[in-house]
Structure 1
Amino acid sequence: MRTIPTLLVSLTALTHSVFAMAAPTPLTPQTAEYQVNYGDIELGKAKYHLPAAEDGIYKYRFDSDLSLLLLTDVRHVLSEFSQEGNQLLPMRYLHDRQGVGPTFTEQTAFAKEQGFIHTRYKDEKGKYPFEGDIFDPLMVQLQFRLDISTGKEVLDYKMIKSNELDEYKFRVIGKERMTIESGSYDTVKIEVVRDNNKRQTFFWMAPDLAYLPVRLTHFEKGSKQLDIKLLSYHFDETHAVPAVQTEVEEPTQPKAPKLLGTGAN
């Protein structure tokens, strides 16, 4: 009879170990698809895809196909980066935009050993020093998820975008239950810090999904312009992660950092 309790204890410990190993991280191979709306008008869908690293190199992709009446906007973005601990190191960034309006290609090469960043945007070239922590506009999302998952309080990021050096700052507002069409999630609500209230951007990230964003809303002068909501998600590229959420601890709310001269866009 003693064997049964012993087996139960062993099985419980093994089960807990398996679930612990199976918990996704921001760098777990994943796919997430979103519905993009302009106000209440459906524009189309966007998809993020992060396969497993090959030879220490990650290749993160973003693809979107949006349209409104006769207007179209199709984008394909690729970010290549490596990892040192919890720090992501950018290597190459490609952004191709087609549709009604300006068609362009943006390319960025991060030559850390040379100490420079080489850019090309709409046939215009640029060159910047590779100093400190710097990111491209796509992989910075993963760095943000890594940082907030480890409790980092200073959420301040510099990136090269459109041949310019941009700075984005964020602050944690608090936890909030978010219910959308794809499910109900316990989330952490984040706000983009800006120097005025003409534009406001909020997004909600689910800790149980490795801080995957489940919703983003953007306001211009108090009117909702963009509403992006999670449709589906997969981790490990083999099965969908069940939409089972648990309560999360209240995150530490850092003081709103002061904006530097570049500002956030």
Structure 2
Amino acid sequence: MTNPFQFKAQRTQNKKISAWLVGLSAFFSCSLLANTLTPYHAEYQILRKGSVQGSATRDLSKIDGNTYQLEYQSDIKWMIFNDKRTEISMFTFDNNRTQPIHYDMTRSGTGPDKEYTVSFDHTKKTITSNKKKYPLDITWQTEQQDAQTYQIQLRRDIKAGKTKLSYPIVDKKGNQRNYDFEVEGEETITLPIGNVKTIRIKRLYDNDKRQATVWLAPEYDYMLVKMYKGKKGIEQFQVQMTKYDIK
């Protein structure tokens, strides 16, 4: 396994990092140019109005060469509502860029069970979905991401000191859209794992009805340690990290 810190000495000399990030995490800047990802296992609790309503896990595994798998599982119970889902993304990582290969999402619980798959053919430059008979009628973009891989690209770009970010996404239903983000600043937050220094990032929407904020922690290799989602100023849910292990 590649140690994410092993290139510190040689990288610090060559990498310029934005001023607001230098004081926060110079120690972790060593992995910015590494052309590999560090496999991990992370656990989260899902809350609503301060009460734990479920749990989630996120696992990154290396398949071979520059091919990886990201798996997310969640289990939520709230009153009579129950939701279990699994998302799996297969992708490559090269030159500090993620390229999705295949995305699969299954959901069960209250209401009908559902499954979505999206496949990316980088040779033919086509994207197919199990909900469509033919390739999706959307414009191929080199930076195209799936519903999970953009999160990995976001972490890498924040490591590189970027403060405004935009990603073309093909979501689980095969719709194409852009996810836009902006760094708001540094913040120390209290989590079940303790007090954590973070970078707070806001998702930008085309209206003010929805709100989403994520907190990435340099000391945990810029992992997502907290997320907040709201609608019309009312909290929908929060996610907080409870455990993080390097595989």
Task: Report TM bin, short chain.
Answer: 0.7 to 0.9
SS at match of 1:151: coil
Unaligned 5+ residue runs, structure 2? 10-26
Question: After TM superposition, where is structure 1 displaced by more than 4 Å over at least 4 residues in a row?
Answer: 17-26, 123-126
1:49 maps to: 59
For residues 193 and 114 of structure 2, the distance between their equivalents in structure 1, rounded to whole angstroms, comes to: 34
2:141–2:168 contact (8 Å) kept in structure 1: no
Aligned residues: CA RMSD: 2.2
1:221 maps to: 232
Shift of 1:113: 0.3
Of 131, 153, 169, 2:180 maps to: 169
For residues 72 and 228 of structure 1, the distance between their equivalents in structure 2, rounded to whole angstroms, comes to: 17
Shift of 1:218: 1.3
**Residues 1:61 and 2:71 are matched in the alignment:** yes
For residues 133 and 242 of structure 2, the distance between their equivalents in structure 1, rounded to whole angstroms, comes to: 37
Shift of 1:39: 2.0
For residues 194 and 153 of structure 1, the distance between their equivalents in structure 2, rounded to whole angstroms, comes to: 16
1:112–1:130 contact (8 Å) kept in structure 2: no
- Scaled by the length of structure 2, the TM-score of the pair is 0.82
2:208 maps to: 197
Q: In percent, how many aligned pairs have the same letter?
A: 27
**Residues 1:230 and 2:241 are matched in the alignment:** yes
SS at match of 1:204: strand
Q: Counterparts in 2 of 1:18-167, with a 5 A limit? A: 20=8, 27-121=37-131, 127=136, 128-161=138-171, 162-167=173-178
| Higher Cα radius of gyration | 1
SS at match of 2:62: coil
Letter of the structure 1 residue corresponding to residue 104 of structure 2: L
Shift of 1:110: 0.2
Letter of the structure 1 residue corresponding to residue 70 of structure 2: Y
- Scaled by the length of structure 1, the TM-score of the pair is 0.76
Shift of 1:132: 2.4
1:207 maps to: 218
Q: Counterparts in 2 of 1:173-192, with a 5 A limit? A: 173-192=184-203
Unaligned 5+ residue runs, structure 1? 1-16, 238-265
Deviates more, 1:17-26 or 1:67-76: 17-26
For residues 83 and 113 of structure 2, the distance between their equivalents in structure 1, rounded to whole angstroms, comes to: 9
* 1:103-126 per-position Cα deviation (integer Å, ceiling 9, x unaligned): 2111111001001111124x7765
For residues 148 and 222 of structure 1, the distance between their equivalents in structure 2, rounded to whole angstroms, comes to: 26
Shift of 1:67: 1.1
